Every structure is written in structure tokens, then in C-alpha cells.
């Protein structure tokens, strides 16, 4: 997809431009009045170098094409996420309103730090080029679509008991020994998937099947703590509430219990169990104050 953005602008070109013009003007004056044709020819050559060096990057940065090659699906606000972009020419790529820059051509990895919770579908980049002579940089702002939406979870805030529905949240948190969220009534065994806790490995079944098997347990949802997240808005206040809700969820999960979470997402209300911090972040990234009409 071709990016869209503002036209190219020079970066700190006033000094080189003024210096070049003065130097070339003096050169032309001396060359003309000295009567030396080779001086004048050399000056013309220099003028060519300067003109192409000063203006060439504008053309180069206009012609360069950039697209997102890949990006993670999830990130946390304030934490860097690596996005791969492919450029059609050597350029310096910088995320707009952000610090670091990456230079090169082909596939470049850039660090994106999302400032807000929620989905990110586009990336604002600042492309800079000094082609072909490296005299000055010209930059251009482009907005490129990400390869897939990047859901940004809030940074976890403090535990807030007001999000916990009924029961005594303190009882779960004050439990003497943490319990694994998946420990409950045994249901059967299933093949191991990466991330399963090591104690869940069921060695007899593993020996029987010839592949790693883990115990699968469940317990009634009714026995799980419930968290209801109602964001006041989709602005900063909502973000702050989401941080606290995530902090609450992570605290409950850390106590060894799965949590049933009720949120509102774009397409309506959603209630379901959350078993691990990734689930919790994912839910909080998608939570909104009210569904889309």
C-alpha cells in the first residue's frame, strides 16, 4: 500500500544552503574575473554537486516506498514493541514523535512505544534520505498501515477492590498458599502446549501416548472471583481505570485463581474467564466505555 503523508522538508539545511550559495557566488566571481575558464568549469561542476546534494534527497525521499512487514499483535503502553518495515531505498526511519531512529534499507526493525491503550492500526513514520551525496537530510512524514492491528494493553495499576463483584476479594488475596488457576476438578488429560506449568505434566499418560501430556482441570465458574470493568470513557480517565482494573486482575491471577471478567468491547458486552496475565492484558486492551453503534 502506498503511504500518504506531507511533502518533503529539509533538515537543518539553512546553514549548508547559505554556505554553499555564498561559496559558489564567491567562486563564480573570482572565476569570472580571473579569466580562468577552468575555474569557471570547476565551479559549475561544484554547483552541480551542491545542487544535486541539496535537492536530490527531496526527490529520493519522495520516491521511497515503505510498508509494514510484520508486527506483534499485542503490546503494553509505554513498553517498546518491534515492528518490521520494508523500505524500497536506503532511508532513516523514525517513529513520529518518538526518539530513536533506524537507518538502512530493506527490512528494518523499529521500536514502537504505544502511548495509549487500545488498538493501533497505523504507524506514523518520518522517513529521511540524504541520497545521493549525503550532504543534507530531507524528511517526509508518512502514515503506513500495520501488517495487523496492534492491541496495546494498559500498564498495570494498583489493585482496586471496587472492580471485584461480590464475595470477599480479600479472602482470595489473603489465601495462605497460591493456587494454580487451572487447579480444580480434574477433567482429563490433553497434549502439552507451550506455556503449560511443569507440575501439570501427567507422566503416566505421557508414557502411554509417547508425547508430553498435561492434566486438564476445571472448576465451576461460579466459584471464581468476578471482576466487572466499566470504563467511564475512552479517554484518559478510561485508560486510568483500565490500568487499575488490570492491576486488580493480575493480583487476583497471581493469587492462583482464574477470574471471570466482564467488559464492554466494541461489539458488545463480554463475560468470560481469564486464566493468565496475557488473557487479562488482552481483555483490557479491548475494553471500551461503550460499544460501537
Partner 1 sequence: MSVVERIRAANAPGPPEHSVALRVAATWTVGVGVAACAAQGELAPSSALVAIGALVVGSVVSHRRRTRPMPLLKLVLAIVAVVAFWWFFFQISRADGVSNLGAVEGPLAVLFTWIQVTHAFDTPARRDLAFSLVGSVTLMAVAAAQALDMGFALFVAAWAAGMLVGLGAMWGSMSASRPRVTTVALGALMLVVVGVGCLLALPAPSVSSRLVFPSTLGGDVALASPAGLEGTAGGATLPVRAGSPGGPSAVGGYLGFAGPLDTALRGSLGDQLVFRVRATRPTFWVAETFDEWNGQSWLETGRSGLQWRSLSGSSPFGVGPGVAVGAGTEDIQTFYLAQAGPNLVFHADVADQVWFPAPRLFVDRDGNIRSGTSMGPGSIYTVVSSVATPGPGALARASGPPLDAADLTRFTQLPHPYPRVAALARRITARAATTEAKVLALEAWMGRHTRYTTDIPPLPRGADTVDEFLFGNRRGFCEQISTSLAVMLRTLGIPAREATGYVPGQYNPITDLYDIEAKDAHAWVQVWFPGFGWQSFDPTADVAPVNPSPAATIGHDVLGALRRIPLVPSVLVAGALAMLAASLLARRRRPPTPAAAAGRTLERAARRAGLEPKDTESLARIGARLDAAVPPARGEPSASGVAAAAERDAFGGPGLGLLARAGLAREARAVLRRAGRRPRRRAGARARSPR
The contact set with partner 1 (CB under 8 A) reads 27-28, 31-49, 51-53, 56, 60, 89-92, 103-106, 129-135
Q: Which is nearer to partner 1, 31 or 250 (CB)?
A: 31
The 3-class secondary structure across the chain, one letter per residue, is: CCCEECCCEEECCHHHHHHHHHHHHHHHHHHHHHCCHHHHHHHHHHHHHHHHHHHHHHHHHHHCCEEEEECCCEEECCCEEEEEEEEEEEEEEEECCCCCEEEEEEEEEEEEECCCCEEEEEEEEEEEECCCCCCCEEEEEEEEEEEEEEEEECCCCCCCHHHEECCCHHHHHCCCCCCCCCCCEEEEEEECCCCCCHHHECHHHHHHHCCCEEEEEECCHHHCCEEECCCCCCCHHHHHHHHHHHHHHHHHHHCCCCEEEEEEECCEEEEEEECCHHHHHHHHHHCCCCCCC
CB 13, min distance to partner 1, A: 15
Measured CA distances, 274 to 31, 166, 170, 196, 289 (Å): 79, 17, 19, 15, 20
CB 54, min distance to partner 1, A: 11
Q: Which is nearer to partner 1, 45 or 165 (CB)?
A: 45
Q: Which is nearer to partner 1, 26 or 223 (CB)?
A: 26
Q: Which is nearer to partner 1, 91 or 258 (CB)?
A: 91
CB 128, min distance to partner 1, A: 9
Q: Which is nearer to partner 1, 58 or 213 (CB)?
A: 58
CB 87, min distance to partner 1, A: 9
CB 127, min distance to partner 1, A: 11
CB 100, min distance to partner 1, A: 13
Q: Which is nearer to partner 1, 55 or 205 (CB)?
A: 55
CB 43, min distance to partner 1, A: 8
Q: Which is nearer to partner 1, 48 or 78 (CB)?
A: 48
Could you tell me the strand order of the sheet in which 164-165 lies? 164-165, 226-228, 259-265, 268-274
Amino acid at each position: 500500500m502506498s503511504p500518504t503523508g506531507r511533502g518533503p522538508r529539509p533538515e537543518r539545511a539553512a546553514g549548508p544552503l547559505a554556505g554553499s550559495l555564498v561559496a559558489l557566488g564567491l567562486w563564480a566571481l573570482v572565476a569570472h574575473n580571473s579569466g580562468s575558464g577552468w575555474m569557471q568549469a570547476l565551479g559549475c561542476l561544484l554547483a552541480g554537486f551542491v545542487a544535486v546534494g541539496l535537492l536530490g534527497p527531496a526527490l529520493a525521499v519522495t520516491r521511497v516506498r515503505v510498508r509494514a512487514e510484520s508486527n506483534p499483535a499485542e503490546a503494553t503502553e509505554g513498553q517498546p514493541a518491534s515492528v518490521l518495515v520494508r523500505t524500497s531505498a536506503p532511508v532513516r526511519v523514525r517513529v513520529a514523535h518518538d526518539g530513536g531512529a533506524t537507518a538502512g534499507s530493506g527490512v528494518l526493525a523499529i521500536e514502537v512505544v504505544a502511548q495509549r491503550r487500545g488498538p493501533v492500526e497505523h504507524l506514523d513514520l518520518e522517513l529521511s534520505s540524504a541520497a545521493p551525496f549525503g550532504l543534507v537530510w530531507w524528511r517526509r512524514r508518512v502514515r503506513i498501515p500495520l501488517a495487523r492491528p496492534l492491541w496495546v494493553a494498559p500498564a498495570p495499576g494498583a489493585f482496586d477492590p471496587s472492580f471485584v463483584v461480590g464475595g470477599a476479594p480479600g479472602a482470595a488475596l489473603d489465601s495462605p498458599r497460591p493456587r494454580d488457576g487451572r487447579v480444580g476438578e480434574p477433567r482429563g488429560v490433553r497434549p502439552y502446549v507451550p506455556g503449560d506449568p511443569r507440575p501439570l505434566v501427567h507422566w503416566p499418560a505421557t508414557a502411554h501416548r509417547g508425547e508430553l501430556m498435561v492434566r486438564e482441570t476445571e472448576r465451576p465458574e461460579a466459584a471464581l472471583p468476578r471482576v466487572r470493568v466499566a470504563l467511564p470513557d475512552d479517554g484518559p480517565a478510561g485508560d486510568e481505570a483500565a490500568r487499575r482494573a488490570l492491576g486488580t486482575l493480575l493480583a487476583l491471577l497471581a493469587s492462583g485463581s482464574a477470574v471471570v471478567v466482564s467488559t464492554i468491547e466494541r461489539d458488545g458486552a463480554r463475560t468470560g474467564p481469564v486464566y493468565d496475565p496475557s488473557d487479562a492484558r488482552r481483555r483490557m486492551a479491548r475494553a471500551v466505555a461503550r460499544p460501537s453503534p
